[in-house]
Amino acid sequence: MNYRTLGDSGIEVSEVGFGAWVVGTDWWGDRSDEETIEMVQLALDQGITYFDTGDVYGHGESEKLLARALNEYRDEITLGTKIGYDFYNHPQAGHGELPKNLEPDWIRTCVERSLDRLDTDHIEYLQLHNANVDEVTPEVMETLEQLREEGVVDALGWAMGPSIGWLAEHEAAADLDFDGLQTVFNVFEQTPGRHALDHIEEIGADTSVIARVPHSSGLLNEHVRPDTELEAGDHRGFRPDAWYETGWEKLETLRFLERDGERTMGQAAIQWLLSHDAVASVTPTFYTADDIREWAAASETPPLSDEEVQRVEELYQDNFGIDRADGMDSLRSSMGGEDIRAAGVDKQVADD
């Protein structure tokens, strides 16, 4: 495993992290707590030291399970969590989005509760969860900076999504000098991630990107194939059929990235993300022990060559040769309700 630094915070993250958004929920299949803990500890054994969760995941259960799995290794890991949703006072309706609360006092309350569930006295990386740009007020920033000055958190981030364009938020994260921003980013879904990278470079910001959904909901790791039947409740089933139908065709154009015995397609998808200097870590959703072993090892597979990166870029600009719609509805945007499809960018579906 290789490691990178989150912005200029000095906080180190493994290039492949553990996305724990399904931990403690029934979205990860019928897995016992003991099996979950084994999976998390296997990830640590494979060199993964960055574990990314959120207080809303399983309404606190994800944080609790990570604490049980990692407590004795606390000095070896980097914990990232997220706050912003008020699940304490509102019931969860399926995969729907809950009301948010970013009042300064509520931020402190949420951090204190996360610290308790994580069984720790500090959090390396605290992120605002799906905050709109107008919700991140000077008072919010002052509260976050106070938490850092008090040693409660080490680095600050902004996690983007779900089902939204977030172009303004990606710019704001860099403009406000957040240490990191987390976003859906993969070979097939490059906006708004590319927009963020371009803006970070343009203004010279010390902001890192954490890339989630690196395999585009099962396409780029071939977990979802033409004959795959997704079980009821599987979050990947929220993609329209046309998304997968066009995706399977796109995938075939990327076979040149595979190297027999050296790099699988799932590993290549991670290496493509790591070819961007500002990407600090990639957080796939692991389903099996084999997933953990394969994707953790991606960090040490051959990096993509300049020629491979350029060929991917050419394919992306040509929509991988596909001239049909992918079936996804236009997503709402934080930019005055503008349709981001009309703005000429691709679309994302959130996996958290």
Taking the C-alpha atoms of residue 85 and residue 112, their distance in angstroms, rounded to an integer, is 15
Per the prediction, the chain carries an average pLDDT of 87
What is residue 48's predicted lDDT score, i.e. its pLDDT?
98
Q: What are the residue boundaries of the structural domains of the chain, listed by start?
A: 3-321
pLDDT at residue 248 is higher than 80: yes
Q: What is the pLDDT of residues 143-191, one digit of tens each?
A: 999 999 999 999 999 998 765 557 889 999 999 999 999 999 999 999 8
What is the C-alpha separation between 16 and 72, in angstroms, rounded? 21
Q: Which CATH architecture has domain 3-321?
A: Alpha-Beta Barrel (3.20)
In this predicted structure, the answer to whether residue 263 has a pLDDT above a threshold of 80 is yes
CA 88 to chain CA mean position, Å: 23
Please check the confidence at residue 261 and state whether its pLDDT lies above 90.
Answer: no
Per-residue pLDDT band for 243 (boundaries 50, 70, 90) equals confident
> CA nearest 25: which of 94, 71, 124, 91?
94
Q: How far is the C-alpha of 305 from the C-alpha of 269, rounded, in Å?
A: 13
Side-by-side strand order, sheet with 123-129: 18-19, 50-52, 78-83, 123-129, 153-159, 180-184, 208-212, 279-283
133 and 334 Cβ atoms separated by less than 8 Å: yes
Residue-by-residue DSSP string for 162-180 = SSB--HHHHHHHHHTT-SE
For 98-142, the pLDDT digits (tens) are: 888 999 999 999 999 999 999 999 999 999 999 999 999 999 999
